[in-house]
Amino acid sequence: MDYRKLGPSGTIVAPYCLGTMTFGAEADEATSHKILDDYFKWGGNFVDTADVYSAGVSEEIIGRWLKARPTEARQAVIATKGRFPMGNGPNDIGLSRRHLNVALDDSLRRLGVEHIDLYQMHAWDALTPIEETLRFLDDAVSSGKIGYYGFSNYVGWHIAKAVEIAKARGYTRPVTLQPQYSLLVRDIELEIVPACQDAGMGLLPWSPLGGGWLTGKYRRDQMPTGATRLGENPKRGMESYDQRNAQERTWDIIGAVEEIAKSKGCSMAQVALAWTAARPAVTSVILGARTTEQLADNLGAAKISLSDEEMQRLTEISAPHPFDYPYGVGGTNQRHRKLEGGR
């Protein structure tokens, strides 16, 4: 197993993290517990959830699993998130000290633990001073309620500002960022990835399969059918589906992934996941599974080693569309990509 450090910390995690947004929604408790069992039997130890996943039910399902399996619980690195509303009051949302204090205690209760390894801010809060949020997180580390903290869905300047304020005030610094990242969604490489690299933070990519597109389940100009999210609920996300379907880049990427998968005798999902896991600054790739079969296939990516030529082909064909200055020709990022060999 290619275990990795959790960002700059000394905690060790598996290269593939078990995401649990499906728990309590698309996977019932029995299925969720079987997914957790299979993940830990594989050698995994990193579980990601959030208070808003199924309105707290995901955390509760994990909590009951941890209580029933003390051996696995000792090895588990648990990550959760706070920020979005869990109530109807004006203070039941955001990154204020008041809301986070309640949100963190509620997550600890639902998970049935006294300590959360990684507590993540689920999104930026423009109303709360970042100093207030960072002071709360520093206090939470000092009190032992959390081991580390990180961010999710932050942009480059959010990261840079938070890191510099934490450094200037002597607060504990963030260790990770959880962004959307895949062969289909690479715009974070423009400023977000460099900001994380400058701060020494690790990336925890979510949606590494592009909402299922990189598994080969969708075909050009064919309406989704069958056991897919769009097939089961055609009205859900059709605008996004139509936009992606209309882009030639989408099908170029899918075609390359399919060819490499056939040549290696593996699934398309495994190729796409292996590419993401091999990208700079990536600590652990978050896998979201509705079934044990999906999980088993995704975890097979750990056995896939892409050659330099295969990595280069996928990286070049999935490169974000050209940008104007300062990101395009003559811009700083363009020059850096050339220096890094086209990455």
Please tell me the predicted confidence (pLDDT) of residue 88: 94
What is the DSSP track for 172-198? Answer: PPP-EEE-B-SSS--GGGTTHHHHHHH
pTM for this one? 0.91
pLDDT at 333: 56
pLDDT given for residue 331 in this prediction: 55
Beta bridge partners of 116: 146
Q: Helix (H, G, I), strand (E, B), or coil: what is residue 41?
A: helix
CB–CB of 250/243 below 8 Å?
Answer: no
287: phi then psi, degrees, rounded to nearest 5: -105, 125
Among 90, 124, 106, 114, smallest CA distance to 50 is for 106
Give which of 220, 242, 217 is closest to 231, Cα–Cα.
217
Q: Report how far apart, in Å, the C-alpha atoms of 113 and of each of 73, 95, 217 are.
A: 10, 22, 39
Torsion of CA 137, 138, 139, 144, to 10 degrees: 90
Number of H helices, E strands in the chain: 14, 10
The Cα 313–Cα 311 span in angstroms is 6
User: How many whole angstroms separate alpha carbon 319 and alpha carbon 253?
Assistant: 10
Residue 28 sits at φ, ψ, to 5 deg, of: -75, 180
Query: Cα dist. 87→58, 116, 182 in Å?
Result: 17, 22, 33
pLDDT at 335 > cutoff 90: no
Catalytic residues: 53
* Structure confidence at residue 1 as a pLDDT band (50, 70, 90): confident
Hey, which residues does 287 pair with through a beta bridge?
A: 18
Residue 201's nearest CA partner among 136, 140, 282 is 282
SS (H, E, C) 250-303: HHHHHHHHHHHHHHHCCCHHHHHHHHHHCCCCECCEEEECCCHHHHHHHHHHHH
pLDDT in tens, 260-287: 999 999 999 999 999 999 999 999 999 9
pLDDT of residue 227: 58
- Identify whether the C-beta of residue 112 lies closer than 8 Å to the C-beta of residue 67: yes
Residue 36 has pLDDT above 70, yes or no: yes
Mean pLDDT of 66-75: 97
- Predicted confidence band at 332 (pLDDT cuts at 50, 70, 90)? low
pLDDT tens column, 114-126? 999 999 999 999 9
pLDDT in tens, 189-209: 999 999 999 999 999 999 999
Domain boundaries of the chain, sorted by first residue: 4-224+267-307
Count CA atoms within 13 Å of residue 312 on its CB side.
Answer: 6
Task: Indicate whether 325 pLDDT > 60.
Answer: yes
Mean pLDDT of the chain: 92
CA atoms within 13 A on the CB side of 104: 28
Right CATH for 4-224+267-307 from 1.10.3720.10, 3.40.50.10490, 3.20.20.100, 2.40.240.10: 3.20.20.100
* Radius of gyration for the chain, computed over Cα atoms and rounded to the nearest angstrom: 20
Percentage of the chain beyond pLDDT 90 is: 83
- Of 107, 121, 105, nearest to 179 by C-alpha is 121
CB of 43 closer than 8 Å to CB of 15 = no
Give CA angle at 26 (23, 31), nearest 5°. 60
